Amino acid sequence: MSRERFDILISGGGVAGLTAASAFGSAGFKVVIVDPHPPITDADAEGADLRTTAFLQPARDFLDRAALWDRLSGFATPLQTMQIIDASRPDTVERAFDAEDISDRPFGWNLPNWLLRREMMARIEELDTVEIRLGVEFQDYLARTNGVIAHLTDGTRIDVSLVIGADGRNSAVRKAAGIEVSTTRYGQHALTFAVAHDTPHENISTEVHKSGGPFTLVPLPDQDGRPCSAVVWMTDSKEAERLRTIPTDQFEEEATERSGGVLGRLILVSRRTAWPIISQIADTLVAARTALVAEAAHVMPPIGAQGLNMSLTDLSHLLDLSVRHRDDLGSPAMLDAYQRARHGDIKLRVAGIDMLNRTSMAGNPLAQEARRAGIKALHGIKPIRTRLMQMGLGAKG
């Protein structure tokens, strides 16, 4: 009995997996993508992902390459300025980093995750090179010299040249490949929700630091004539659960206080969801005929919009190498090049975000004073400020 043949199997139908399917399908590869659950593409649906993603300049360029940006740009809110506020003492320290210092474009553009899934699914439906199978999951595989026999949970087997694991922090592909991970747990959760406020955000993304983790406000489009922002509130796990369940009026009061009132009173306009915060790095990004991307490869606290932007950097490198190695797709030479290009950079960036998170969590006065001094110094020297902004967009250190 003959098996179906594809160039690439993508395990995982989240934002990274859907982007990969569109990018590789647009490049002419025959792709099958599998996920056990249909993507939720309505903000009001049960289980909808209410988080937002800020796509930095390189990520936006990759979305354009994947023929996705034209679909998304009309819904995107530009992020022109990144503002950091230390409110650990009454005399707050505020510094703003303006994209004009390094570019004629914004730092990035913010979009709701549920909307990303909707538009990405619509793009995939246009591609005759991509087949999406929902309700089906990657199970295991047999890698051979010239390809892979992949086993799916519906009992089917398919032949592919390359398996891409984009199936999250508990990746089935990573486990099947026998790749271990190093994990750090912080005892934190991130509360995510959307708010309306009287003060316009003026396309400024703001991180407010006290202790326990940052409180980040990211601009969204106006709703019903009111300015709106997405919020990521990182705090102790027990405190996050309390905040998730207290009455709305009490929550709005506490959220406004924690924000330092930077945008005035915050009015809750969405559900509250909570996500555990960890750092995690796969010991290697590759195995026989296998490449890990996104959270299958790396997880980090949601600081500096690095998470999904790093994931799209993974995909950009992997796509470049796949095009270059189209005739030997998934070969050791191709995968070794991917490992060299990404693993070192991932380890450095995860370590940097880990350090920033621990600094933000710190509640002791000495650590807080060091953070305040660091914000002043890094902003005050223009060459350092400029280099930090460039590195935040993905430039090498």
Least Cα distance to 371 among 239, 208, 222 occurs for 208
DSSP conformation letters of 348-361: HHHHHHHHHHHHHH
Measured CA to CA, the distance from residue 112 to residue 145 in angstroms comes to: 41
Domains of the chain, residue spans: 4-40+112-183+283-356
Question: Given CA atoms 288, 178, 39, 234 in this order, what sign does their dihedral have?
Answer: negative
Q: Which region among 41-45, 69-73, 319-323, 378-382 has the lowest average model confidence (pLDDT)? A: 378-382
pLDDT digits (tens, 9 = 90+) for 290-316: 999 999 999 998 876 677 889 999 999
Q: Which two tokens mark 69?
A: 């940006």
Does residue 383 have a pLDDT over 50?
Answer: no
pLDDT, mean over the chain:
87
pTM (2 decimals)?
Answer: 0.89
Q: What is the mean pLDDT of residues 324-343?
A: 97
Q: Which two tokens mark 369?
A: 């004073």
Strand positions, DSSP E, 198-333: 204-209, 215-223, 226-236, 266-268, 273-282, 286-287, 290-292, 298-299
Predicted local distance difference test score (pLDDT) of residue 99: 73
Q: Please, are residues 212 and 234 in contact by the beta-carbon 8 Å criterion?
A: yes
Cα–Cα distances in Å, from 160 out to 2, 251, 290? 13, 50, 11
Q: Which region among 18-27, 71-80, 83-92, 380-389 has the lowest average model confidence (pLDDT)? A: 380-389
Measured CA to CA, the distance from residue 108 to residue 93 in angstroms comes to: 24
Does residue 380 have a pLDDT over 60?
Answer: no
CATH code for the domain defined by 4-40+112-183+283-356? 3.50.50.60
Does residue 163 have a pLDDT over 90?
Answer: yes
Q: Which two tokens mark 382?
A: 């223009």
